[in-house]
Each structure stands twice: as structure tokens, then as C-alpha cells.
């Protein structure tokens, strides 16, 4: 008998029927406007949120943050004043990316996270290897809690999905918070006003 069978046969022996799955916990309604809550939480965990009315405001904001010779990869067609840079198949070549601009699906007010999936990332390494991460979501695409987040994700069939909440960070040295542990040193979320 191989390990799979021996493990499963033991588990079968210990199978029980006592405990049924409980209902999910529906959180109480969030009193604050969700964009306001999202901004305040994201700021408290080292990220920043910027309210914008038009795409061109985003482009202007970003170009002011990055030198002309620095590498920027923009994956959002609407931001046409920023060059849509090509990248090859090897993720190692993304190491010098100063800034990545990526569209997110939605934000979560209770923790400042943005949900993004692999088809938005270009290369999956990009959001984790770039030095500054800029994400764009619609202001109306903010849910209150993780309960709502999974209601929204439902049974969608992504290949890789991630909640990103703020810049990469560590407090392993005497609990001193340092931003930029391995990945992005900053995370900016643009909240695009609803048309």
C-alpha cells in the first residue's frame, strides 16, 4: 500500500459526521463611505490612495514620480500617454522595473487590499518585483470586507489571484516597520471617479 492509500485509509477510519458547515458570517454594514474607509486603512498600512477624475490625471501623477530614463511598464491601454512597454518571456528581465501600472479588479475597504489576477499582471512576477506599484480601480469597485470580496469573486476561474495590501514590508528586526522588504517600496492606488 503506498502512502496515499495508507493515509486515506486511516482518515476514512476516523471520518465522522458530527459537524456540519456553518453559515458564513455577514458583517454589519460599514458606516463610512467605502472609498473613505479604504483610503484611511491603506494609508495606515503604508500605501496611498489618490482620487482622480480622468485617466490623464493618473498619467500626470505617475510621470512626476519617475525619471525619464527609468523603466516603467504600463499595462493599461487607457493610459495611452504612458508607453505600453513590451516585455519578454523571462521574468528575470523585469528586475530593473522602476514602476508597474496595473489595473485591479476591486479594493477591500476593511484592509486596503486590491484584488488582481494573472491576466492583468502581464508577467506574474511584475507586481512583486517592481520598485513602485501603481494600481487603478474604479472608486465604485470597493467592497466593505473580505466576506464581500469572496461574494464578488464567486467561482471565477483565475489562474493566479492575489490581494495586495500596501508595499512589501517587514518588522522582523525588533518590530521596526520597514517598507520595501523584497518587492515594491510603495503602492499607490488610483481611485477613478465613476463616470
Partner 1 sequence: MNETEAKTSNRDHANRAEVFNRDESRVNWHDETLWFIRSKRDKAVHKLQEWELLREAASKIKLNVLDNLYVYLQEFERHAAANGVTIHWAADANEHNRIVHRIIKDAGINQIVKSKSMLTEECHLNEYLHSQGIEVTDTDLGERIVQLASEAPSHIVLPCIHWKKEEIGELFHTHLGTPKGNSDPQFLTAAARTHLRQHFMSSRLAITGVNFAVAETGEIVVCTNEGNADLGVQLADVHIACMGIEKIIPKRKHLGIFLRLLTRSATGQPITTYSTHFRKARPGQQMHIVLVDNGRSDRLGSDDFRNALKCIRCGACMNTCPVYRRSGGHSYHYAIAGPIGSILAPGLDMKQYADLPFASTLCGSCTHVCPVKIDIHDQLYKWRQVLVKDGHVATGKKAGIGIMDVVLSHPRIYRFAGKIGRWMMNNFPVAVNNKLNPWYKQREMPAAPRESFHDWYKKRKKN
| 8 contributes a contact to partner 1 by CB under 8 A | yes
Shortest CB 60 distance to partner 1, Å: 27
Strand intervals (E) in 87-139: 97-103, 106-108, 113-117, 132-138
| 30 contributes a contact to partner 1 by CB under 8 A | no
Q: Which of 50-58, 72-80, 99-107, 149-157 is the region at the interface with partner 1 (rule: CB under 8 A)?
A: 149-157
Residues contacting partner 1: total by CB under 8 A: 73
| 195 contributes a contact to partner 1 by CB under 8 A | no
CA distance 52 to 191: 6
Q: Which of 21, 68, 86, 195 is the binder for partner 1 (CB under 8 A)?
A: 21
**In sequence order, which ranges of 64-156 are alpha helices (DSSP H)?**
126-129, 146-153
Nearer Cβ to partner 1 (4/194): 4
Closest listed residue to residue 181, CA positions, set 166, 169, 165: 169
Name the β-bridge partners of 136: 103, 190
Nearer Cβ to partner 1 (52/178): 178
Amino acid at each position: 500500500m503506498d502512502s496515499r492509500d495508507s493515509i486515506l485509509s486511516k482518515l476514512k477510519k476516523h471520518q465522522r459526521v458530527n459537524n456540519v458547515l456553518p453559515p458564513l458570517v455577514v458583517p454589519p454594514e460599514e458606516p463610512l463611505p467605502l472609498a473613505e474607509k479604504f483610503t484611511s486603512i491603506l494609508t495606515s498600512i503604508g500605501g496611498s490612495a489618490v482620487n482622480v477624475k480622468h485617466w490623464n490625471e493618473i498619467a500626470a501623477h505617475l510621470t512626476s514620480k519617475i525619471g525619464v530614463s527609468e523603466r516603467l511598464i504600463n499595462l493599461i491601454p487607457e493610459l495611452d500617454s504612458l508607453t505600453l512597454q513590451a516585455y519578454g518571456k523571462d521574468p528575470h528581465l523585469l528586475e530593473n522595473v522602476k514602476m508597474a501600472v496595473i489595473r485591479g479588479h476591486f479594493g477591500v475597504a476593511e484592509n486596503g487590499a486590491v484584488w488582481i489576477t494573472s491576466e492583468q499582471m502581464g508577467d506574474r512576477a511584475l507586481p512583486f518585483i517592481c520598485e513602485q506599484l501603481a494600481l487603478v480601480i474604479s472608486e465604485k469597485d470597493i467592497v466593505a470586507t473580505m466576506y464581500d470580496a469572496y461574494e464578488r469573486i464567486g467561482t471565477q476561474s483565475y489562474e493566479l489571484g492575489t490581494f495586495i495590501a500596501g508595499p512589501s514590508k517587514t518588522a522582523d528586526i525588533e518590530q521596526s516597520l520597514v517598507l520595501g522588504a523584497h518587492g515594491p517600496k510603495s503602492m499607490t492606488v488610483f481611485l477613478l471617479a465613476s463616470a
